[in-house]
Chain A
Amino acid sequence: MTDPDARPQSGSGLGPATGPETSPETGPARGGGPAYPLSWRLLDAIEGLAALWPARASGAVKWALLAPALALVALLLWGLGVMADASLREMDFRTYRLSEDWSLANYARALGSGAFWATARRSLLAAAVVTIICLALAFPYAYAMTRTRSARLRKLLLVGLFLPFFIGQVVRAYGWLIVLGQEGLANEALGALGLGPWRMLFQYPTVLFGLVQYMLPFAVLMLAPALAAIPEEVERAAESCGASWPRALLHVVIPMALPGLIAAALVVATLTLTDFATPAILGGGTNDFLANLVYDQFFRTSDAGLGSAITLLLTLAGTTVAGVLLAAAGVAALGVRGAR
């Protein structure tokens, strides 16, 4: 945890103090005692506490550290279990209560519904299209951000990356209503050129456009660390061996950035597949995704059974998408040690 070569030991019983007499945190030493930064002392105190942990229980440390994450996963699984139970019970609309008996009726209703297949097709297509476009746009952005020698440009790109996170998805979608509306800025500009007005809102491409704008920062955020971890020397080495920059990019940088690309694809594809707000706001009511269908069942028709069935089918679709991506690239592509 601490590196004895990097800093002197404090008076924690581990050795004589040999550190500096002054520090920015403590100021000059008084009374002849050792003066170390407060943060060092705190770390030493924590180390002291760690010594109290029984050696026999050292194997439990990793589980203790994992406990919060495991609790969250358990909560998620518990919720899915409740949903699975509800999905097997049919709603009686004379009493608005779910049946006592289990059946597959809700799954039959969902899978026999044209609305389900239409929204599923729309969601899956969006997940594919938005992911491809986001990766194509995010890669050069992240590459420029990590490779530029201009601090000003890097700051500008960082601001461009993080600014959208401060503006919620709903606000951004409403922004597009103003820009792309029949009397919006885009149509005004077209009007000045003697064109339009064109109906730009409430179409499927507009929903995709809104999703790309929303998902792009996520993709950049996932890609940037992967690109930053590739030493520039590797590119130079490839070029010194005769590879042109595009060849070096294609055969060296992109393969080495694969963990970031796969992670970005996973995040963008699953978030797009399960998105609710953008199709609801920019879709005009006729471009719903599966998440909108789930909302409708839970809240508009109060049919928790059918809503749960569609939720589980959506979860299955998301898991399949993630599985296909990982199967195509291999888990090792995520940089997971020991994975094959």
Chain B
Amino acid sequence: MTDLSRRRLLTTAAALGGASALPFGLRAQEPEKPAEIIVRAWGGVWVDSLKKGVSDPFTAATGVAVRHDLTEDNEIKPRIWAAVDQGRIPPIHINWDTTANATSSALRGACEDISDLPNLANVLPLARPIGLDGVPIVNTYAYVYVLAYRPEAFPDGAPTSWNVLLDPRFRGRVALYNDGIGFHPAAQIAGGGTLADIPGDMDACWEFIAKLKDQQPLLGEDPDFTAWFQNGEIDVACTISSNAREARANGVDVAWTVPQEGAKVDTDGMWIPKGLPENELYWAKRYIDFALSLEAQQVWLDGLGLPGVAPGLTPPADLAGDPSYPTTEADFAKLLLVPPRIQAEHTAEWFAKFKEIMQG
């Protein structure tokens, strides 16, 4: 074991030890350790970072193995819901999920309350979900849907507005998420509307997206953006900064910016489905609690290039001062936030409208 990894193990043990100093339900003794806990995760850089920053140190410190289930977050959700409704043990212990998606599970009553995590007392307010009873989800970091672009296609410098997506030069060479996620507030502002009008009046958003339809955009998911930039299929896209950063790390010439209209900021979080045996619930909580610690977040989120909820994190060198890496109130004020509960309650409606435009 290297000096660094030994030191890391000690800090991890300290972080977990600190947590166990105030155990869930004031336990005198730790409950039986399960052979493993299963954490649903996204693939690629996402799971690699989680493994390095959270799962491996957790296993080293507790002896509880962590298995990552790479089932899509949308696809695991109905399985969890069915298990909870039928009183079965759910298929995973922890769901690493978008907060908006997790909110739908919380509204359905499928989440355990995890308000007794000791580290919740030490993290930024961003970690606590807004508008829900108790703490069914903890947010673990924020991320921004940036305007990613190929610098070669922008010889005069970075684009400054989302309106660049409507430039005829980029017809057939722009990309969005295939459910429109991450783009609604930007389209609302770029289309002449205001953030405050969401969800009541989103005509500006839909008109902008309808114009964008004429640009023949490609619609995909996280891995598609990296592949499309890599294969020269697109010049500009609305995607999470981590995907653009990952593409750049793979040698693809990609840059990103937060345009003058702002960019949507969102959070991901973790939650525990109801129905786990008591001892497994305890260790699942320990895992999430550790994921909130400074030690875990520093390594995990360095890999993703995202700002965490533990105070005192050091930004990766390439992201210091980057508007897609908000760390202060002022940074967040420049971004566009739609509360997750509003997103959860309107997802189907917005999705239907987006599909109506894009498939028509």
Contact = CB atoms under 8 A, between A and B. Distances in A.
Nearest to B358: A286
Contact of B352 (A97, A115, A299, A304): A115
A302 B78 contact: yes
Contacts, number: 94
Interface string B325-360: 000000000000000000011111101100110111
A185 B104 CA distance: 44
Contacts of A94: 107, 345
A303 interface: yes
Contacts of A93: 104, 344-349
A296 interface: yes
B347 A285 contact: no
Given A300-B74, A303-B348, A285 B358 contact: yes
Contacts of A181: 231-233
Interface in B64-78: 72, 74-75, 77-78
A214 interface: no
B359 A288 contact: yes
Contacts of A213: none
A284 interface: yes
Nearest to A303: B348
B179 interface: yes
B239 to A, nearest CB: 13
Interface stretch (B5-13, B154-162, B215-223, B257-265): B215-223
A201 B348 CA distance: 29
A202 interface: yes
B348 A285 contact: no
B351 A301 contact: yes
Contact of B231 (A91, A119, A183): A183
Interface SS majority for chain A: loop
B346 A199 contact: no
A202 B218 contact: yes
A288 B178 CA distance: 11
A286 B359 contact: yes
Nearest to B177: A285
A304 B78 contact: yes
B219 A286 contact: yes
Given A118-B360, A119-B359, 13 more contacts: A91-B348, A93-B345, A95-B107, A181-B231, A182-B232, A284-B219, A284-B220, A285-B218, A286-B216, A286-B358, A293-B359, A300-B351, A301-B352
25 contacts: A93-B347, A94-B107, A94-B345, A95-B108, A96-B108, A113-B352, A114-B359, A115-B355, A115-B356, A118-B360, A181-B233, A284-B218, A284-B219, A285-B218, A286-B216, A286-B217, A286-B218, A288-B355, A296-B179, A299-B77, A300-B74, A301-B347, A301-B352, A302-B104, A304-B78
Interface of B: 72, 74-75, 77-78, 81, 104-105, 107-109, 172, 178-179, 216-220, 227, 231-233, 344-349, 351-352, 355-356, 358-360
Name the 10 nearest CB pairs between A and B, nearest first: A285-B219, A301-B348, A96-B108, A115-B355, A299-B74, A285-B178, A115-B359, A284-B218, A118-B359, A182-B232
Interface of A: 91, 93-97, 109, 113-115, 118-119, 177, 181-184, 199, 201-202, 284-286, 288, 293, 296, 298-304, 306
